[in-house]
Structure 1
Amino acid sequence: MTRFSLAIDIGGTFTDAVLLASDGRSFVDKTLTTHGNLLEGFFRGVDLVLDRAGVGPSDVDDVVVHATTVVTNALIERKGPGVALILTQGFRDILYIRDEHRYDMYDPQIEFAEPLIPSERTFTLDERIYADGTVEKGVDREAVREIIAQCRKAGVVSVAVCLLNAYRNSANEDEVRAIFAEEAPEIFVSLSSEIAPQMREYLRTSTVAINAYTVPITRPYLTALTEELDTRGFAQQPLIMLSNGGVIGAERAGRFPVRMIESGPAAGALVACYFSRLFGIPDLISFDMGGTTAKACMIQDHEPLVTGIFEVDRRYRFKPGSGMPITVPSIDMIEIGAGGGSIASIDSLGLLKTGPESAGSIPGPVCYGRGGEEPCVTDADVVLGIIDPDRFLGGDMTLDADGARAALGALGKKLGLTAEKAAWGVFEVVCEQMAAATRTHATDRGIDYRGMPMLAFGGAGPVHACMVAELVYAQKIIYPPLASVLSAFGTLVTPAQIDLVRSLVCLLEALDWEAVDATLQSMIDESSAALKEAGIRDEDLQFSFAVDMRYLGQQSEIRIDLPGDPRDARDAAAIRALFEAEYEAQYGLKLDDMAIEVVNWRVTGSGRKPERSTAPISDGDGKAASRTRTVHIHGEPQDVPVYQRKELTMADRITGPAIVEERETTIFILEGWTLGLHETGSLVAEKANGGR
């Protein structure tokens, strides 16, 4: 019997829907994201793919997986309800003082992201826990009740609690939550000891503040989603994509929304790993360009890079430290405001620029005909002739080419350019921005990106990937099936997974293995409970271990993945050897006589990886080249052949410049590239003569 799995990925411009049958058939569609009510677009996408498959909600008997921008939107828009913060006395201004790091030491006017919780809703308690976990002073219950009274007066619906050294002993934070539960059960309480139980006060405070800020938005959203799915007759509870590349149950995700911030982009990175293994290419560049943003992730040895700290709301795109830090495990990628809806304009120096401002889905690019007045990247693609305005989304959405040309003409007039030359300028600028982001991301991590193949996906990714590939010296580009909705497909090949971390600072040579055992077991128990909530059976539970270490006296650690459960061998010498090898790989040296300090222990719990795939795409009928279209390349018109992807055969070899169209996206290859159909159904472009 055929089983069906459903995935919905809500992006800044489009909501993507994928229905995957157990026999490999896939049904996909895209609809504009409805920002006023995200669930409206969600269920519109659901209805579209169910209609395409000719099935109903009761037929979706495998999984329903969801990736969403709801948390990111809340942080960007800053329209959240009243949130308060409770800190240890003497630490009231920690969100303003930050960690005293200046991301640009030579700029006296640097800007930082404004704290989510203002000082007037920040309260302190006269309590203290020592660094070893000893409770020096407990919580004054009357002081907490006074804070509750002030919270009610201020209309607070969510509270973040971050008390000093709570990562070592959560007793005082637990007491605060208990008092709130007694006196004000309607106020949700987020504890730093639950959200981010690791050392470094500012990071913990920032993380728990972001969680508390987004809970009042995310929990009702996920509750409404679950209830509506049930009402419509879906048998399965939804699973939610997390930033770490795993999925988890909706109820737990609603309590920890800080783990969902990069859910959509993480799905894209995970599906890049899927194709990395499928093609036998261990290292590649994942390039995902949608309507609002572009994301680049470096895949190494078939796995994405992972980070324990990332930032949101950066003041400067490429400058770490200019945003709000979050200390939760996440896929390590770079994301910039360069999508199809990115607005093109002229900066203060009179130079052409794109983004980071985006027209989104409302009003969208001018060519959408929804009231947009400022030219966007998609408008430029239409004016250049790369995108056919009559065949966008298979003709379901006709684009206003005249409106796009008028908008680009007005922009070009300011620069002394025609509409077509201005459009090519927009195309080049946005591609250079994405290439620069990719180069920066790879170089900062010591990765030589030159010559690495690229996987291009997202609605706008295949349009711009060839130019970006040239700028990062890629020799091969893979355009997978379902490229436009690949992040949604990625959620279906992702296992249920949860990453946990606990600080337990100790010299490696003096490890207290009993304490390590207790710490790891507590994380195993917590992750087991979370995975069982997501429907994972005991026999399918899997655990992996890692440790964050540094040389004594250093301020930052490196993550060391362990080959098995460290409690089995209790071999500190073997762990030291792993650390020294990784340290030498990253920094070019090791310090033989220096003591090593363990800072954090990590446990990743997961279920078995789903065995889902799309059916191989068969050859076309050999009538691929059907027409030509005028495309303005470097501002000059050229007659370019246009192919339909579904008509290509394994024998076809296409030489650029050329266009390959499919319903949800368009592939544009430049001169000097050839493209052919791979047995997996992917299209593969290769640079002639070894590239530049």
Structure 2
Amino acid sequence: MVTGVTRNCRVGVDIGGTFTDIALDLDGVLHSLKLLTDYAAPERAILEGIERVAAMAGIAVSDIGLVIHGTTLATNALIERRGAKTAFVTTEGFRDVLEMRTENRFEQYDLDIVLPPALIARADRFTVRERMNAAGAVLLPLETASLAAAIEAVSAGGYDSVAIGFLHAYANGAHEVAARAAILERLPDISVSISSEVSPQMREFERFNTVCANAYVKPAIQSYLDRLTVALKGIGVEGPVFMIHSGGGIISVETAAEFPVRLVESGPAGGAIFAADIARRHGLDAVLSFDMGGTTAKICLIEKHEPKTAKTFEVARTWRFRKGSGMPISIPVVEMVEIGAGGGSIASVDGMRQIRVGPHSAGSEPGPACYRRGGTRPTVTDADLILGKLDPDNFAGGAIPLSVPLGRAAIEAAIGAVLGLDADAAAYGICEMVDENMANAGRVHAVESGKAIADFTMITFGGAGPLHAARLCEKMGISTFLVPPGAGVGSAIGFLRAPFGYESVRSAVFALSAFDIAGANRLIAAMEAEALGFVAGGLNAGAPVIERTLFMRYAGQGWDIPVPLGDGPFDDGSVGDIAGRFEEAYARFFGRAIEGLPIEIVGWSVKARSPLPPVARVPAIAEGAVVAPTGRRRLFEAAAGAYRDAGIVARGTLSPGDVVEGPAVIVERETSTVLTSAFRAVVQRDGCLRVTRS
């Protein structure tokens, strides 16, 4: 073991629903492993993983200079409703906004539609007499008597956390700040979140729901992060710990503990960053990122090396692909479609005798039936094992031996016996269903963005992504996909390549016909100072990169579009420039601009991040010889509906230029790449597998 030498050593840790992934970068050399997630104490898997991966790298744990962490704990708490006992304090007359929602029906003609229940029950919501107008002017001062009554109700109810959301607080949060001070004076140990800090954006339902979500998960996330930082120091990790947030940047543990709702999509955001970095290195301008893990699959469009982003998204959708059926979260986020289709997704037969997969997952406890951990319900992993995609003796590098008889028995009992199919046919049905679900999600996501999915190159990662990528490409008409080195722990590697970054967002209406230059400059300056304040600790690599965006619409429209804003302060010439940028963006979205209508700005975004390090373009490589397989096994090909004799090739034995012809399985410790007969893989100079259809 090498110690006492200054090393550039960083660790990325991703806690998923099934596996905890660890990636250690030591002077540019990657070491990684996967462990089953420990639900009772998630930090235990992190500590074990860091100690093991440090031993693999031949270093002491004390040599680790930085830990970057992403987690699904906040997401799971919201989905499973396992948060703190939370109260919501709001403006009198708006107690039921959480249940009334926006009154949009995500399934217009269903008379029995059931909306997701409010995160905080009506009995736990309390009102206060106060009122701001949309410009932030006080219409009704904060009434101390009603506030005192609400505080007494919170005290009597024994709540652990309080969310405060007042009408139009995005324009002026003074009443929320005063209410928080009064609550903490009376109840100093309670956790308090206010909407003007968590999500200072218009549209009260989304803002109220976001601050409630933040308050709901805040005590648990704070406790977890406190335990984690102490435990890391206990095993000798002296370097700082940072968190990846949903927008794809790195923030401090303290910021994450205060605004844990920003961690809801942290793991998937790391995967998108990983794919974007590979796209930069290979000069790919149109990429479909496909991340399939043990619990979910995530699909993201990446154009010109930048993941698609949004300022709102939904979690815990009750209807697949239905916008409006979930819980809206109003924060900056890497935009992607996420479905319950992972290796641990449970298969069943519905009332119409059709195979269904997910969204429920066997997770890590008990896990798929083939894990030998007590699981009895069939999963995608069980089906992959039966169809020859997995080696039962070398799953997760041999750490988790798989049982073919147990997997087969689970599929026969729950699927085969019901439909009159043998285990192989039932496994085929499970895999086809999950692949079609994912392909459909990709098509829908591309169409919603106005793109043709066949024009994209897929970059696939996650433990199950390379297993299913070839079949997805067949279904979506994609001709090429890349499998990067370390694909099995792609999100954790993405954490190591993420910039320090934070996005400040505001809602403030500015009509271009009466543009307030001084007010706009004050707003932008305050937002820039806020964003820089959150990332100041990570800007050692150089001057920050500032990206400014306006969200604009024609006056009277109900929604807005993003419009990139140039550098520098606003001046007398800014109105014409902003109008031109908006009309250009509007024409790009909708075909043409509309003449004569007044234009207004309704939202503002300032993103500050550390500069991305330059990357060398991976040069093209000539194809070499076809590699002879070192073993063979039966592999089921869905397109042919039959088994094929497939070659087995160890990825660690391949060199740049080597060619692997399908049918084949390229195996490595954290995943396997399945090549059907129509595909061939060429190893690139950076170790990526470039897989193309013949």
Q: TM-score, normalised by structure 1?
A: 0.96
* Structure 2 counterpart of 1:187: 190
Report the equivalent of 1:150: 153
Deviation at 1:537, TM superposition (A): 4.4
Query: What residue is the counterpart of 1:564 in the other structure?
Result: 567
Aligned-partner Cα distance in 1 for 2:677–2:367: 31
Segment drifting more, 586-595 vs 259-268: 586-595
Partner of 1:15: 20
Distance, in Å, in 1 between the alignment partners of 2:572 and 2:62 is 49
1:239–1:247 Cα contact (<8 Å) kept: yes
Structure 1 residues 420-446: Cα deviation after superposition (integer angstroms, max 9, x where no partner): 111111111111100000101110111
Matching residue's letter, 1:2: R
Contact 2:466 2:673 in 1 (8 A): yes
Change (3 A) 1:11 1:400: same
* Structure 1 CA distance for aligned equivalents of residues 572 and 440 of structure 2: 45
Q: Mean alpha-carbon deviation: is it higher for 52-61 or for 492-501?
A: 52-61
SS in 1 for 2:56: helix
Q: How much does 1:81 deviate?
A: 2.1
Question: What is the deviation of 1:599?
Answer: 0.3
**2: CA distance between counterparts of 1:55 and 1:311?**
42
- Greater Cα offset, 309-318 or 135-144: 135-144
Distance 2:627 2:174 in 1: 71
Specify the alignment match of 1:495 in structure 2: 499
- Aligned amino acid, residue 441 of structure 1: H
> Given that residues 673 and 687 in structure 1 are in contact (C-alpha distance below 8 angstroms), is that contact kept between their aligned partners in structure 2?
yes
Report if the CA contact (8 A) 2:411-2:427 is conserved. Answer: yes
Instruction: Determine what percentage of the aligned residue pairs are the same residue.
Output: 40
Bigger drift between 490-499 and 175-184 goes to 175-184
CA distance in 2, matches of 1:143, 1:224: 38
> What RMSD over aligned residues (CA atoms) do the two structures have, in Å?
2.0
Deviates more, 1:453-462 or 1:633-642: 633-642
Q: Compare 677-686 and 569-578 and name the one that shifted more.
A: 569-578
Residue correspondence of structure 1 range 214-363 to structure 2 within 5 A: 214-363=217-366
Structure 2, unpaired ranges of 5+: 1-5
Which aligned pairs between 1:88-487 and structure 2 lie closer than 5 A?
Answer: 88-410=91-413, 411-487=415-491
State the AA in 1 paired with 2:475. L
Alignment gaps of 5+ in structure 1: none
Q: Tell me, in whole angstroms, the C-alpha distance in 2 between the residues paired with 1:206 and 1:412.
A: 43
Is the 2:247–2:269 contact (alpha carbons within 8 Å) kept by the matching residues of 1? yes
> 8 Å contact 2:541–2:611 — kept in the other structure?
no
Shift of 1:400: 0.8
The match for 1:682 among 666, 682, 688 is 688
In structure 1, the partner of 2:532 is 528
Is the alpha carbon distance of 1:507 and 1:401 closer, same or farther for their aligned partners in structure 2, counting shifts above 3 Å? same
Q: Is the 8 A contact 1:492 1:610 kept in 2?
A: no
> Aligned pair in 2 of structure 1 residues 611, 141: CA closer, same or farther (>3 Å)?
farther
Moved more, 96-105 or 133-142: 133-142
C-alpha deviations, 1:528-585, integer Å up to 9, x for none?
A: 22112x4434953332100000011101000111232353675111111111111111
Q: Deviations over 1:595-627 (max 9, x none)?
A: 1111011100112225799999x9999975111
Is 2:669 aligned against 1:663? yes
Q: Which amino acid in 1 is paired with 2:311?
A: G
User: Residue by residue, what CA displacement relative to the aligned partner does 1:625-668 show, whole Å, maximum 9, x if unpaired?
Assistant: 11111123345332111111111233432222211111111111
* Conserved? CA contact 2:280–2:615, under 8 Å: no
Deviation at residue 143 of structure 1 after TM alignment: 2.5
Aligned partners of 1:622 and 1:649 also within 8 Å: no
| SS in structure 2 of the partner of residue 625 of structure 1 | coil
**2:645 counterpart of 1:639:** yes
CA contact (8 A) 1:128 1:136 kept: yes
Deviates more, 1:566-575 or 1:427-436: 566-575
Whole-angstrom CA distance in 2 between matches of 1:230 and 1:563: 44
Is 1:69 aligned to 2:72, yes or no? yes
Number of residues paired by the alignment? 684
Deviation sequence 1:245-283 (CA, Å, 0-9, x none): 001000111110111100000010111110111110111
SS at match of 2:454: coil
Structure 2 SS opposite 1:356: strand
Q: More deviation in 138-147 or 459-468?
A: 138-147
Q: Distance in 2 between matches of 1:334 and 1:538?
A: 33
Measured against aligned partners, the alpha-carbon deviations of 1:452-480 in whole angstroms (never above 9, x if no partner) come to: 11001000000001001111111101010
Cα distance between partner residues in 2 of 1:652 and 1:239: 39
Q: Kindly indicate whether residue 13 of structure 2 is the aligned counterpart of residue 5 of structure 1.
A: no
Deviations 1:114-168 (A, max 9, x none): 1111111100011111222111222222332222221122111111111111111
Distance in structure 1 (CA, Å) of the matches to 2:21 and 2:589: 39
Q: TM-score, normalised by structure 2?
A: 0.96
Deviations 1:83-106 (A, max 9, x none): 000111111100011111111111
Within 2, Cα distance between the matches of 1:290 and 1:611? Answer: 29
Q: Distance in 2 between matches of 1:307 and 1:549?
A: 14
Contact 1:494/1:610 (<8 A) preserved: no
Per the TM alignment, residue 504 of structure 1 is displaced from its structure 2 partner at its CA by 1.5
2:3 is matched with which residue? none
Matched, 1:602 2:605: yes
Q: Which amino acid aligns with 2:482?
A: I
Q: What CA distance in whole angstroms lies between the structure 2 residues aligned with 1:134 and 1:103?
A: 35
Contact 2:512 2:601 survives alignment (8 Å): yes
Asked if 1 retains the 8 angstrom alpha-carbon contact of 2:627 and 2:659, the reply is no
What CA distance in whole angstroms lies between the structure 1 residues aligned with 2:271 and 2:616? 15
Provide the C-alpha distance between the structure 2 equivalents of 1:209 and 1:164, rounded to a whole number of angstroms: 14
Q: How far apart are the structure 2 equivalents of 1:179 and 1:620?
A: 72
Q: Secondary structure at the match of 1:540?
A: coil
